[in-house]
A and B are shown apart, each in its own frame.
Chain A
Amino acid sequence: MHREIIRRGMDSYDVAHLKGRARIKDWEAARQKCQEIKREAIDHLDRYLLQFEEKVIARGGHVFWAADSEEACAYVKNLATRLGVRTVVKSKSMVTEEIHLSPVLEKAGIKVWETDLGEFIVQLREEPPYHIVTPAMHLNRGQIAKLFREKLDSGITSDDPVDLMAVARRKLREAFFAAEMGISGANFLVADAGVIAISTNEGNGRLCTSVPRIHVVVTGIEKVIPRLEDLAVLWPVLATSGTGQGITTYGTLIGGPRRPGETDGPEELYVVLVDNGRSQLLADAEQREVLHCIRCGACLNICPVFRHVGGHTYGTTYPGPIGSVLTPHLNGIKEFKHLSYASSLCGACTSVCPVKIDLHHHLLQNRRNATAVGATKSSERMMFRAWRSAMLHPWMYALGGWSMRKALRMLYGLGLAGSIVDPMRVWNRYRSPVPLPSESFRARWRKNRAAN
């Protein structure tokens, strides 16, 4: 059933995505423009981040630079403790997942509410988001109704989405008005205007950032863009790639805390700029463009591996192709190199990336890096060394092919295909054996030439 739910979700995404792309007059030109904007931002990250910081501070906000997840979490926790915060409402943010902020706050006795519906659902299930854009895409409404009955004491009997929404909304409204602190992420940090741009669909983002008296933005340093006008292309391209929408329901620009005479907004605004391995990636000229990612999720949706294994199998904050490229950089090549091999290198991810990150080539580079630091198995290293010798000597190459055909024909003749002595047993577990030709093309060619 799980695979069926995922397939249906992906099929409807495909339709919406193609329709959305068709609405943009020149999709390739839009991708090109987005790539150029992000490249400019990342290539001059130092300058744009400082410009952003200066503007935020000038309007009365605070900016904290966190080198890693510990620093970021400690800062937010201490802030909450110092300001007497007991309840936090969160708008959807993958960076807070990456740094594992919620457990740190909860350990300090602070109640944390995820307010994005999908995030709310996976929080109730005590599991990480399944997908970076649609966190609960692996669940159907029957499962969600059951969850709400069990966890929310709601007594709901229907599994009608409207009724389910009403249950979640009632619960979350209480949280919004109880919370002293709202935590959000950011889709973009606009350097020239000093504003934080957030795209959402449910309205929870605006409640999180305007109702509580304190707003904390936790985001990665790579989210900065040079100019406000860049949103004119980035916003629709993000929405199109994420869900197929022309633009998300809410596009919010936050410039600072409430100023005298203003009727709403938080009294205090804090921006936490998280590095957590990003500046190391920035120093890598070959793979720097991985920081261009705008977290739209398009590469996950098209990836045939993601479609077959699902989001939780990766065991990482960021699943799918972008996660497989990024995670070895953020969390260690030795522990996460396997992700770079979990791809057929089909390139579908690269073909849809709205900022044109060469994702599958970065997987290849990760594989090369894993080999270079000796993170691969010694048996594999020996095998490829032997392979190289064979490939550099045509007689060994021919002999290798000949003896393999001979040996397999003998084994298969004895009915031993798939047995422990069959070197192709892994292949043959899922497939019928490869037909064995009587002779190689090389042998045939040589014979024909001799005959002429």
Chain B
Amino acid sequence: MPEAAIDTVKVLRRIGYKVEYPEEQTCCGQPAFNTGYWDEARPCAERFVRVFKDADLIVCPSGSCTTMVRTFYPELLAASSWRADAIALASRTFELSEFLVKVAAVTQVGATFPHSVTYHASCHGLRELHIHDEPLQLLRQVDGLKLIEMVRSEECCGFGGTFAAKFPEISAAMGTSKAESVAATGAEFVTATDPSCLMHLEGILGKRHAPTRTIYLASILAQQDAAQSSAQVKP
């Protein structure tokens, strides 16, 4: 999903930030950490801290990866020489929507998206980072966008990283419940703060031949005019 990152860069540049992408970066370590392989996750975390420690602000197009850095690095790196740097870094790391609303204090990013959209509150953003209203504030400012609330918007979509591989039936059943909530809104798109939830939902919706498509929040915010958006995005 390179679009998630491309569109995040677009939005950040549009509101006046200089964006750097350190090419030495890899993964934050969450897949290993969440599966219990903390010894395997730790060097990834240390690497992340080393690569990013000189950045003023770190913006991440995922609430889940942000949670890994902010909530879990201090615990994972408790006995590491990188601990102090990790804690300092954690306070400068933000998920995109909270960065825009709370740090940059911007809700109007000059986007146009003449479509109906429903919002799924991704779990890590919601319960670990306490992101409640920020994505909605941003969406409400998008020109032409019609926001439709779904029932149980705060219930997990069922992705859960390696959970989807270890318990595929449960993951898919949870995804199906979420897809039903999405379908009931009749919206053209479902959006969220985590591309991984959307990748899972896209597959579930696709299998059901549901008309609703997924789109990551930044990809809505990056759209600028009606002609452009209809050319780039096909519902």
Q: Are B38 and A347 in contact (CB under 8 A)?
A: no
Do A304 and B36 contact each other (CB < 8 Å), given the known contacts A342-B167, A391-B26? no
Residue among A380, A430, A432, A433 with the most chain B CB within 10 A?
A: A430
Do A394 and B21 contact each other (CB < 8 Å), given the known contacts A347-B123, A430-B203? no
B189 at interface, CB cutoff 8 A: no
Flag the segment in A124-132, A182-190, A210-218, A441-449 that touches B.
Answer: A441-449
Report the Cα distance A392→B50, complex, angstroms: 12
Do A370 and B207 contact each other (CB < 8 Å), given the known contacts A391-B47, A392-B47? no
Do A434 and B170 contact each other (CB < 8 Å), given the known contacts A344-B159, A368-B38, A391-B26? no
Report the Cα distance A376→B32, complex, angstroms: 13
Report the Cα distance A77→B34, complex, angstroms: 44
Q: Are A370 and B36 in contact (CB under 8 A)?
A: yes
Partner of B127, one of A308, A347, A437: A347
Q: Are B6 and A441 in contact (CB under 8 A)?
A: yes
B23 CB to closest chain A CB (Å) equals 6
A172 CB to closest chain B CB (Å) equals 38
Q: Are B156 and A348 in contact (CB under 8 A)?
A: yes
CB nearest to B76 among chain A residues = A368
Residues in B neighbouring A344, C-beta threshold 8 A: 123, 156, 158-161, 163, 171, 174
Q: Are A431 and B36 in contact (CB under 8 A)?
A: no
B residues 35-80 touching A (CB-CB < 8 Å): 35-40, 43-44, 47
Report the Cα distance A108→B164, complex, angstroms: 47
A85 at interface, CB cutoff 8 A: no
Q: Are A384 and B35 in contact (CB under 8 A)?
A: yes
Residue among A429, A432, A439 with the most chain B CB within 10 A?
A: A432
Q: Are B1 and A437 in contact (CB under 8 A)?
A: yes
CB nearest to A302 among chain B residues = B155
Q: Are A367 and B23 in contact (CB under 8 A)?
A: no
A63 at interface, CB cutoff 8 A: no
A305 at interface, CB cutoff 8 A: yes
Report the Cα distance A397→B51, complex, angstroms: 15
A298 CB to closest chain B CB (Å) equals 15
Report the Cα distance A309→B126, complex, angstroms: 24
Number of interface residues of B (CB under 8 A): 60
Residues in A neighbouring B172, C-beta threshold 8 A: 429-431
B175 at interface, CB cutoff 8 A: yes
A residues 376-393 touching B (CB-CB < 8 Å): 376, 380-381, 384-385, 387-388, 390-392
B183 at interface, CB cutoff 8 A: no
Residues in B neighbouring A427, C-beta threshold 8 A: 164-165, 168, 203
Q: How large is the interface on A (under 10, 10 to 19, 20 to 34, 35 or more residues)?
A: 35 or more
Q: Are B163 and A371 in contact (CB under 8 A)?
A: no
Q: Are B123 and A431 in contact (CB under 8 A)?
A: no
Q: Are A394 and B38 in contact (CB under 8 A)?
A: no
Partner of A308, one of B27, B29, B174, B207: B174
Contact bitstring A350-361, B, C-beta under 8 A = 1, else 0? 110000000000
Do A308 and B170 contact each other (CB < 8 Å), given the known contacts A347-B123, A371-B36, A387-B32? yes
A426 at interface, CB cutoff 8 A: yes
B133 at interface, CB cutoff 8 A: no
Contact bitstring A138-180, B, C-beta under 8 A = 1, else 0? 0000000000000000000000000000000000000000000
Report the Cα distance A442→B34, complex, angstroms: 25
Do A345 and B174 contact each other (CB < 8 Å), given the known contacts A433-B203, A439-B2? no
Do A341 and B167 contact each other (CB < 8 Å), given the known contacts A367-B36, A368-B38? yes
Q: Are A346 and B156 in contact (CB under 8 A)?
A: yes
B188 at interface, CB cutoff 8 A: no
Do A434 and B199 contact each other (CB < 8 Å), given the known contacts A371-B38, A384-B35, A385-B40? yes
CB nearest to A347 among chain B residues = B127
B95 at interface, CB cutoff 8 A: no
A residues 394-437 touching B (CB-CB < 8 Å): 394, 397, 426-435, 437
Partner of B163, one of A341, A388, A426, A429: A341
Report the Cα distance A430→B156, complex, angstroms: 17
B25 at interface, CB cutoff 8 A: yes
Q: Are A432 and B207 in contact (CB under 8 A)?
A: yes
Q: Are B206 and A376 in contact (CB under 8 A)?
A: no
B188 CB to closest chain A CB (Å) equals 18
Report the Cα distance A129→B27, complex, angstroms: 43
A364 at interface, CB cutoff 8 A: yes
Q: Are A446 and B23 in contact (CB under 8 A)?
A: yes
A residues 105-136 touching B (CB-CB < 8 Å): none
Q: Are B26 and A392 in contact (CB under 8 A)?
A: yes
Residue among B6, B35, B128, B160 with the most chain A CB within 10 A?
A: B35
Report the Cα distance A431→B124, complex, angstroms: 23
Q: Are A371 and B123 in contact (CB under 8 A)?
A: no
B177 at interface, CB cutoff 8 A: yes
Can you name 8 extra interface pairs (CB under 8 A) apart from A304-B155, A342-B167, A384-B32? A345-B163, A347-B123, A366-B36, A369-B36, A391-B29, A391-B44, A392-B26, A431-B206
Q: List 8 A-B contacts (CB under 8 A).
A: A371-B39, A387-B31, A388-B40, A426-B168, A427-B203, A429-B172, A441-B21, A442-B23
Which B residues contact A (CB, under 8 angstroms)? Answer: 1-3, 5-6, 21, 23-27, 29, 31-40, 43-44, 47, 123-124, 126-128, 154-156, 158-175, 177, 199-200, 202-207
